[in-house]
A and B are shown apart, each in its own frame.
Chain A
Amino acid sequence: MAKKLMKGCEAIGEAAIHAGCRLFFGYPITPQNEIPEYMSARLPQVGGTFVQAESEVAASNMLYGAAGAGCRVFTSSSSPGISLMQEGLSYIAAAELPVVVVNIMRGGPGLGGILPSQSDYFQATKGGGHGDYRLLVLAPSTVQEAADLVIDAFDLADEYRNPVMILGDGLIGQMMEPVEFKKEIKPEDLPEKPWATTGRAGRQQNIINSLYLDPEQLEAHNWDLHRKYQRMAKEVRYEAFNTDGGCDVLIVAYGTVARITKTAIDMAREKGLKIGLFRPITLYPYPTEALVQTAEGAKSVLVSELSTGQMVEDVRAAIAGRRPVGFYGRVGGMVMGPDELVEQAEKLVAVHV
């Protein structure tokens, strides 16, 4: 298939259609309105359904219903809207329903701003709503990768019967890049979901539920979920760039900041400083082992995020004092330039000679 120049948000929408998804429920919020807008135009063309929900609370519960009835279903929103979806996501995780949720993060807390941010890392990777649960979280750093990960997200959601979140930021959503879609799945070719509420003809009753009044049963359910999250560990994905033969500073960054790091790597090279990049693609499960191994070849580690320091906690826990770990963050919609990253790397080297 020929590559097509597309905006990140549109590529995400089209990728969902290529994944065989024919249902979208969502509520407008900047900076991701192009996704619902795209779906509202495209879904009717392919026999699908777009519903503008009355709120993100409602949208997340529409997802619950549709996923429970066995449909591939997806929604997108941005930070404040994702906060409202936490109710549905907790129930979806509890009832083990496959859904795909896109969060094009903007600055917070509160209404915050509408510019790019990565400040929902904790919310995305540590559960987000109430109860012991995890989402599988994928962080693209290019438009092509966003399209690929959206298609994979539907398969992963089905495989683990778990909500999958695509965690992007405003830059990924708005930038235009050439994209191709790696596969096209027809909804009718998707495997049956024998557990779904599709009408009980010819079988026992199916129930989609998250209520366990018996504490022993709830405990068993909690550990079942926990074991599932452990099984998901094999899905870790990451990119290690410019790390062969070791480096002076290993920058750990995801999404947009990882792109900026690649420019910083070139700038640093001219100054005789070798920067490597470790880019987690799955934020949950976190590629801890790969990070530790990659960091062995680095003199020090610098975590950079569009937050005041969230992923850095996971990195520090992984490195566990074996290397100095610095942090550099910009927030509020401010994005660091590659020169800032080089400067921070130089400082780190100067301190830890």
Chain B
Amino acid sequence: MPSVIIDKDRCKGCELCVYACPEDVLAMSDEINAKGYFVPIVAHPENCTGCRYCLLVCPDVAIQVENKGKVTKPPESLTGKPFSYCPGCTHGVIHRLIAEVMDELGIQERTVGIAPVGCSVLAYEFFACDMQEASHGRAMAVATGIKRGRPDLTVFTYQGDGDLASIGMAETVHAANRGEKITVIFVNNAIYGMTGGQMAPTTLPGQVASTCPTGRDVTLTGYPIRVVELLKSLRTPAYLARVTVTDPKNVLAAKKAIRKAFKYQLEGTCFSLVEVLSTCPIGWGETPHDACGWLQENMVPYYPLGEVKVPEEATVQAGS
């Protein structure tokens, strides 16, 4: 019978696993871990089918699943250091997916990752490959420097929406337009998480943030920028996709896109950028689960999911 193993020390009690389990195997308990979080327990082990949905949504790599004598393991491309993110923040899920892809492609020893300025500023402590910490918005310029100097290395950036689409927009557009052979993971949470929830270029119309306390007024601040659609207008071939990680199905789709984004780099094909719609439960003032619902209800309609540009199509376009 499959079973779920919860690493109580890593758990932040976000409850996302409890909601994700289609068989009601998990339930929250009264038990408090060393960090002060209520942890879930395996309430109905007999119901477990080994679907791994709980593992897929856990933002803190706190769940492993045993099935037919085989136990899942945390990705080797993560250092194992506990993430610094708030409970239920999906930054952690995205980290895990990138690390899994690095493991599967066997590229950890030739990869350089670039951490941004934002909540993921400490990403260099979490990814187990070589890392560089960039200044705010310049991750793609830093990546360009590395990739042009050492084309044999695999280079990825991990950037928030303030970082990539506001202060770093020039670097973004030009790295894409030059067709830098790099992989960009763009974490869009519609807010400046790190500095306390200010308006981002991606904040939705009417959305309240600490610098638009009555809601974003598009007559004064313009409309949220759809980054992948904007980059699509460039003639240079690229792989551009938008995904989210609010639920197991979407987590799997996100991983597929991230994997493609690395493969295109490994094949020397093109610039790749995967926009991941991500939650900021703290900044939005929602529980982690409700934040996932809010994202689906409000962000997905404005930021449609899917592949927006694939290099093959772009090559055809370029000939026209």
Contact = CB atoms under 8 A, between A and B. Distances in A.
Interface of A: 23, 25, 49, 51, 53-55, 57-59, 61-71, 73, 87-88, 91, 95, 197-202, 205-211
Contact of B171 (A58, A197, A207): A58
Contacts of B79: 205
A197 B130 contact: yes
B150 interface: yes
B145 A66 contact: yes
Contacts of B122: 211
Contacts of B173: 54
Contact of B148 (A23, A58, A91): A23
B135 A91 contact: yes
Given A23-B148, A51-B148, A54-B174, A64 B130 contact: no
Contacts of A55: 170
B25 to A, nearest CB: 36
A71 B142 CA distance: 13
Interface in B121-145: 121-122, 124, 128-135, 138, 141-145
B130 A51 contact: no
Interface stretch (B90-98, B104-112, B190-198, B280-288): B104-112
Return the 3 tightest CB-CB contacts between A and B, nearest first: A65-B145, A65-B142, A71-B149
Given A54-B174, A88-B135, A200-B109, A62 B145 contact: yes
B146 interface: yes
B12 to A, nearest CB: 20
Contacts of B144: 25, 51, 58, 62, 65
A49 B171 contact: no
Interface of B is mostly: helix
Given A51-B148, A201-B109, A207 B130 contact: yes
A61 B109 CA distance: 24
B27 interface: no
A63 B145 contact: yes
B234 interface: no
A49 to B, nearest CB: 5
15 contacts: A23-B148, A49-B148, A53-B141, A54-B173, A55-B170, A58-B174, A64-B145, A65-B149, A73-B149, A87-B135, A199-B153, A200-B129, A201-B110, A205-B79, A211-B121
B146 A66 contact: yes
Interface residues of B, number: 36
Given A61-B135, A205-B128, A211-B133, A199 B146 contact: no
A87 B141 CA distance: 13
B143 A65 contact: yes
B141 A210 contact: no
A208 B148 CA distance: 17
Contacts of A65: 114, 132, 134, 141-147, 149
Given A23-B145, A61-B142, A69-B149, 16 more contacts: A54-B173, A54-B174, A61-B134, A61-B171, A62-B148, A64-B135, A69-B153, A197-B130, A198-B150, A199-B109, A199-B130, A201-B110, A205-B131, A207-B132, A208-B133, A211-B133
Contacts of B148: 23, 25, 49, 51, 62, 66
B171 A23 contact: no
B112 A197 contact: yes
Given A58-B171, A199-B111, A200-B108, A205 B130 contact: yes
A198 B131 CA distance: 10
A62 B130 contact: no
A200 B144 CA distance: 19
A208 B110 CA distance: 16
User: Which of B79, B109, B121, B133 is the most central at the interface, judged by chain A CB atoms within 10 Å of its CB?
Assistant: B133
A69 B154 CA distance: 12
B145 A198 contact: no
B171 A199 contact: no
Contacts of B124: 207, 209
Nearest to B113: A197
A128 to B, nearest CB: 15
A66 B141 CA distance: 10
Contacts of A66: 145-146, 148-149
A206 B130 contact: yes
A208 B171 CA distance: 20
Interface string B204-245: 000000000000000000000000000000000000000000
Contacts of B153: 69, 197-199
Nearest to B174: A54
A205 B76 CA distance: 13
A208 B149 CA distance: 16
Contacts of B121: 211
Contact of B141 (A58, A71, A73, A202): A58
A64 to B, nearest CB: 6
A208 B113 CA distance: 10
Contacts of A198: 130, 150, 153
B132 A61 contact: no
User: Which of B108, B130, B171 is the most central at the interface, judged by chain A CB atoms within 10 Å of its CB?
Assistant: B130
Interface string B153-177: 1000000000000000011011000
Contacts of B128: 200, 205
